[in-house]
């Protein structure tokens, strides 16, 4: 759902809900202030899921970075927004892959293009990443063609290396994309991710796994990886392949059910705005709440926070962060982790001075 509120209401809600800050918590530690999660890295500033995007997110102060995971033909987990990659790589301009174009039914929807499950990792290595939203983030297209696709293991290595340099833990926050679909192909994501979690010795301080599909998370819980799980929640319909609706999952009874296998819920940011009781109900069920996805462009902001008439110009993103921080969120998922960190610092300064 989309909620429109006035700027005065946004600021008032933020002021009444201000919290104190502390050092950023690890993945398994409750926090008195919101964690900042770099959505596909710092996707507002660099093409998503690239080393440059993840590195910029970490340098900006992100506590976690989020790689979406899909499988290659040889069952390697790689970081891509979707298994169809014509919008995130240069494959459409590669004549050697022209014959691989296909039309497939993915989670009940027909999709046409090039798919990761039809290419080996070696073939995918020859491709280069491009900006997924060139009309919205034209400035990012200057980086098109500079970087290759990363495996999940490479994202883990990058997070660890930069974390050591900065003297802090940077958690990885993988999302399993279309897990039922990949299981139907004989390329299940859950056992391979569980194997990599063990191989890289990723404990609860360093990894949280998310999915929109409860059965996928329950499979991971049964695998005994020991890392926290995050149930992602949409705004309409329900998770693919489940006799559930997101609306029902966000009721007190639904949240108690989620708490049987997950530590977090991840609703759309519109789902937590007043008068929604979702944050309070989730906390009562023992769940933490991380909302998605925060962006700075006008078209992604409430009307009251837009500046000017151009949809791709930046609006008052700081007011939106202040509002949601004041609602008691435990984390925010953002394309602009630098802005989220700055807004968090503003909140801490206000709490210390009593402003």
The secondary structure of 264-289, three-state, reads EEECEHHHHCCCCCHHHHHHHCCCEE
pLDDT of residue 316: 98
Tens digits of residue pLDDT in 253-305: 999 999 999 999 999 999 999 999 999 999 999 999 999 999 999 999 999 99
Preceding omega of 276 cis (within 30 degrees of 0): no
What would the CATH number be for the domain defined by 7-80+150-353?
3.20.20.190
Mean pLDDT estimate for the chain: 92
- Residue 75: how many other CB atoms lie within 10 Å: 17
Over residues 137-143, the mean pLDDT reads 98
Q: How far apart are CA 186 and CA 28, in angstroms?
A: 32
3-state SS assignment for residue 230:
strand
pLDDT of residue 258: 98
Over residues 237-261, the mean pLDDT reads 98
Q: How far apart are CA 90 and CA 307, in angstroms?
A: 34
Domain spans of the chain, in order of start: 7-80+150-353
Looking up tokens 């023992």 gives 286
List Cβ neighbours of 209 (8 Å cut-off, separation of 6 or more).
173, 174, 175, 176, 193, 197, 217, 220, 225, 227, 228, 229, 230
Q: How far apart are CA 9 and CA 274, in angstroms?
A: 10
pLDDT of residue 355: 62
Pairing state between β 264-266 and 288-294: parallel
pLDDT of residue 12: 39
pLDDT of residue 30: 44
pLDDT at 100 over 60: yes
pLDDT confidence tier of residue 2, bands split at 50, 70 and 90: very low
Q: How far apart are CA 255 and CA 272, in angstroms?
A: 14
pLDDT of residue 33: 85
Q: How far apart are CA 266 and CA 174, in angstroms?
A: 13
pLDDT of residue 32: 58
pLDDT confidence tier of residue 22, bands split at 50, 70 and 90: very low
pLDDT at 320 over 50: yes
Q: How far apart are CA 231 and CA 220, in angstroms?
A: 12
pLDDT of residue 255: 98
pLDDT of residue 349: 75
pLDDT at 242 over 70: yes
Query: Residues 313, 307: contact at Cβ < 8 Å?
Result: yes
Share of the chain above pLDDT 70, in %: 90
More confident residue, 354 or 72: 72
pLDDT of residue 274: 96
pLDDT of residue 142: 98
pLDDT at 13 over 70: no
Q: How far apart are CA 294 and CA 300, in angstroms?
A: 8
Query: Residues 209, 191: contact at Cβ < 8 Å?
Result: no
Over residues 180-193, the mean pLDDT reads 98
pLDDT of residue 116: 98
Closest CA to 225 of 25, 82, 28, 68: 28
pLDDT at 23 over 90: no
**Residue 261: left (phi > 0), alpha (psi -120 to 50), or beta?**
alpha
Over residues 90-117, the mean pLDDT reads 98
């Amino acid at each position: 759902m989309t909620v429109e509120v006035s700027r005065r209401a946004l600021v008032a809600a933020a002021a009444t809900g201000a919290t104190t800050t502390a050092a950023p918590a690890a993945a398994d530690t409750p926090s008195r202030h919101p964690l900042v999660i770099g959505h596909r890295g710092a996707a507002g500033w660099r093409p998503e899921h690239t080393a440059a995007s993840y590195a910029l997110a970490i340098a900006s102060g992100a506590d976690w970075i989020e790689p979406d995971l899909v499988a290659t033909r040889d069952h390697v987990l790689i970081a891509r927004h979707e298994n169809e990659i014509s919008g995130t790589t240069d494959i459409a301009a590669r004549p050697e892959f022209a014959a691989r174009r296909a039309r497939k039914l993915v989670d009940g929807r027909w999709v046409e293009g090039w798919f990761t499950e039809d290419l080996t990792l070696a073939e995918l290595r020859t491709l280069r990443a491009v900006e997924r939203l060139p009309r919205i983030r034209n400035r990012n297209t200057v980086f098109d063609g500079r970087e290759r696709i990363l495996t999940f293991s490479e994202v883990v290595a990058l997070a660890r290396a930069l974390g050591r340099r900065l003297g802090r833990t940077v958690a990885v926050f993988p999302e399993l994309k279309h897990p039922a679909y990949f299981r139907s192909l004989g390329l299940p994501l859950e056992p391979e991710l569980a194997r990599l979690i063990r191989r890289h010795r990723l404990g609860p301080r360093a990894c949280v796994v998310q999915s929109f599909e409860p059965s996928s998370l329950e499979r991971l819980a049964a695998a005994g990886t020991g890392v926290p799980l995050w149930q992602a929640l949409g705004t309409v319909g329900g998770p693919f392949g489940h006799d559930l609706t997101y609306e029902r999952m966000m009721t007190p009874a639904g949240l108690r059910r989620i708490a049987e296998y997950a530590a977090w819920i991840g609703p759309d940011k519109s789902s937590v705005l007043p008068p929604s009781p979702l944050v309070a109900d989730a906390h009562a069920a023992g769940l933490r709440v991380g909302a998605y996805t925060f962006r700075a462009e006008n078209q992604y902001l409430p009307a009251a926070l837009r500046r000017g008439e151009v949809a791709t110009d930046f609006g008052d993103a700081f007011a939106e962060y202040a509002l949601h921080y004041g609602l008691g969120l435990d984390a925010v998922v953002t394309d602009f982790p630098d802005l989220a960190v700055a807004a968090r610092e503003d909140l801490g300064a206000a709490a210390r001075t009593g402003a």
